Amino acid sequence: MAALRWRDLNASTGTLTLRGKTGAREFPFGGDVLEELRAWPRRPNHLQLLGVKHNTAVGQLRARHLPRAFAASGVTPFTPHGLRRGGVDALLRAGVDFGTAASLLGHSPKAMLDFYRQATADDRRRAVAAAALGRLEPLGRKVIAFPGSGDSSVD
């Protein structure tokens, strides 16, 4: 984000051109962020969208801004990469397919899953419930009691 330039913002289409290790890609966005950016003044002397150089912004984010935000909100500290992990989690929890989510990140689905996806206990519980794992009735199968289960009947 710190490396974004005003030329990367297309407010009429609601896209940002992101330039990363894997090349340039269009990133669609909208809502409050787009409205906020539309309101920002374009100053000819500031090529960077945030008005700071990349290295300065990254250093300030790590050293100043994130620690202040963590302290004010009571959130457990994380690295700037944690923001990317949170984005991946939000996309996948919303049901976005792996290919689309990876495309937004500029990674392959494998890299996205290897480096950014961290399933939580709640994710696993939701997955089991969504797949109806552990439910026998809809399957139409009969239950057989296992030895030592306290029930010797066979249904």
The total number of structural domains that make up the chain:
2
Q: Which domain holds residue 98?
A: 79-155
5 and 62 within one domain: yes
Distances (CA, A) of 25 to 16, 22, 28, 53, 113: 8, 9, 10, 21, 20
| Residue pLDDT, tens place only, 60-114 | 777 888 888 899 999 888 887 888 888 899 999 999 999 999 998 888 899 888 8
84 and 69 within one domain: no
Q: Check if the beta carbon of residue 120 is closer than 8 Å to that of residue 148.
A: no
Alpha-carbon distance of 87 to 103, in angstroms, equals 13
73 and 83 within one domain: no
- The phi and psi torsions of 138 (rounded to 5 degrees) equal -65, -15
102 and 72 within one domain: no
| Residue pLDDT, tens place only, 112-147 | 888 888 888 998 998 888 888 877 665 555 656 667
5 pLDDT band, cuts 50/70/90, is confident
10 Å CB burial of residue 146 (0-12, 13-18, 19+) is exposed
Residues 6+ positions from 13 with CB-CB distance below 8 Å: 28
| Residue pLDDT, tens place only, 6-61 | 888 888 888 988 887 778 889 898 788 888 888 887 765 667 776 666 677 777 77
Domain boundary among 22, 43, 77: 77
155 pLDDT band, cuts 50/70/90, is very low
